[in-house]
Amino acid sequence: MGIGRFVYTPILPLMHTQAGLSSSLGAALATANYIGYLVGAVAGILIPAVVRSARVMRISLVVLVATLALMPTTHDGSSWFVLRLVTGIASALIFMIAVSALLSHLRAHAQHLAGWAFGGVGAGIALSGVLVFILRSAGSWRSTWWAAAALALVCAVAAWALTPEPSPTATPSGPAAYRRPRTDRWFTAVFVSYFLEGIGYIIAGTFLVAAIDQTAGGWVGSGAWIVVGLAALPSCAVWAWLGRRWSQPTLLLVALLIQAVGIALPAVIDNVGPALISAVLFGATFLGIGSIALGIGAHLQFPRAVALLTTGYSVGQILGPLVATPLLHHGYHQAMLVGATIVLAAALAAAALRLRFPDHVGTMHAPSHSNNQHAETQPDRSVEWAHRPVVPPAQNLRGEGVHPERRSTAGVFHPRGTLK
């Protein structure tokens, strides 16, 4: 999925120079991929069985490889748009099914394994960057797409036997009568922050290599994308470890500030060093921000929090290239600065989370069917919150030990939730 979704970024400069791709069409193709990702994510939310289907996963793997292989067979912009749209749909389905399998099979294992598993996206980015770096001087934009398809095929074969969760967790029938804590204002803050992050992050994710090529030139652009992938690979595991010591709202704020600096660097300093530092800062934060934001949403026990946050993030990804396109006539510097500014605005929204944030959110309570006067205050242990903690240990959002019935859901990836 990391290859199929993100290989377009390092290939984009080659398509500009060799295939005559305009800046506006390049942005439109990026938007097509993000629209497809949103469609796939919504399909997974509306049809829960999709994210538990090995058949859907395998079909999506085949479709993903096929769309990569078909990209160099045409020069038609409309055909490219459709191919990148379908790639986005397949990428979302693969990601959600992988999440379902992850939660199903790693529940009893160490929490860091989940972070490393999500680092597979970073590994795909790094591999695609290495591929383009090798072929950019010896091959053409066509051969690069075909090589990416071959690399994705190898990964698809390795992932073919992946088994998602066969059935949803059983829940009791009847009305869901429970007292939900009022966490609306904090959820609004994290929703706005994550939506803005979707806009700003995708501007950098689409144009970072092209912006660095424009300033540093030579090998630096492709090399920077490799660095992004290598930095992203361990990032979720590292942020999960930091979450044992610092509150999640603080980590979200810090990660967004770091990312804003990383996005702005190539636009303000033309040199190899700042370009590589930018790649490290961007790669180390974009997956971690997703895991932290989704964990906060689940912790707040807001209805369908993960689905809502994912949808807002996906809409932001669609808007990002549209916001940047009018700024591309004179290069990529202005677009990167706008992206950094939007991520900074996301950080300001995240700062609002730290104001009296509810580290301990009340547990659900089932309706009482007895005459016991204390029944209303006793949690029904047959009822589980939809985003029950699977990966993190029993701790609140500040890393403090809490009672098992009040453990935090920070860092949880629900089978219906997606990251980027």
d(CA 350, CA 293): 9
Confidence of residue 329 (pLDDT cuts 50, 70, 90): confident
Q: What is the mean pLDDT of the chain?
A: 78
Q: At residue 262, does pLDDT exceed 60?
A: yes
d(CA 150, CA 328): 32
Find how far residue 86's CA is from the centre of its chain.
18
d(CA 403, CA 111): 19
- Cα angle 250, 251, 255; round to 5: 120
Q: At residue 121, does pLDDT exceed 80?
A: yes
Buried b (16+ CB within 10 A) or exposed e, 261-280: bbbbbbbeeeebebbbbbbb
Q: How many CA atoms lie within 13 A of 221 on its CB side?
A: 25
Q: Which pLDDT belongs to residue 409?
A: 40
Q: Which pLDDT belongs to residue 396?
A: 44
Q: Which pLDDT belongs to residue 83?
A: 97
Name residue 419's beta-bridge partners.
none
Instruction: Indicate the DSSP class of residue 403.
Output: -
Structural domain spans, the chain = 2-167+180-354
Contact between residue 89 and residue 173 where contact means Cβ atoms under 8 Å apart: no
Which has the minimum average pLDDT: 37-41, 150-154, 176-180, 290-294? 176-180
d(CA 72, CA 242): 43
Q: Which pLDDT belongs to residue 388?
A: 37
Q: Which pLDDT belongs to residue 361?
A: 62
Question: Phi/psi at 21 (nearest 5 deg)?
Answer: -70, 125
H-run or E-run covering 65: helix 54-70
- Across 39-127, the runs of DSSP E, i.e. the strands, are none
d(CA 125, CA 232): 8
- What Cα–Cα distance (Å) separates residue 400 from each residue in 111, 273, 360, 407? 16, 39, 10, 10
Q: At residue 406, does pLDDT exceed 70?
A: no
Q: Which pLDDT belongs to residue 51?
A: 79
Of the two residues 120 and 410, the one the predictor is more confident about is 120
Mean per-residue pLDDT, 63-78: 95
Return the CATH superfamily for domain 2-167+180-354. Answer: MFS general substrate transporter like domains (1.20.1250.20)
Q: How many CA atoms lie within 13 A of 280 on its CB side?
A: 6
Q: At residue 404, does pLDDT exceed 70?
A: no
Q: At residue 146, does pLDDT exceed 90?
A: yes
d(CA 347, CA 118): 23
- What Cα–Cα distance (Å) separates residue 184 from each residue in 112, 189, 257, 353? 30, 9, 24, 11
**Amino acid identity, position 267:** A
Instruction: Indicate the DSSP class of residue 363.
Output: P
Of the two residues 407 and 240, the one the predictor is more confident about is 240
Q: How many CA atoms lie within 13 A of 373 on its CB side?
A: 0
Measured over all CA atoms, what is the biggest interatomic distance in the chain, rounded to whole angstroms?
79
Mean per-residue pLDDT, 66-74: 96
d(CA 346, CA 372): 48
Which has the minimum average pLDDT: 37-41, 197-201, 356-360? 356-360
Q: Which pLDDT belongs to residue 92?
A: 87
Q: At residue 274, does pLDDT exceed 60?
A: yes
Name which of 202, 208, 189, 205 is nearest 248 in CA terms.
189
**pLDDT 10s digits, 193-251:** 999 999 999 998 888 887 887 766 667 777 888 898 899 989 988 988 888 888 889 99
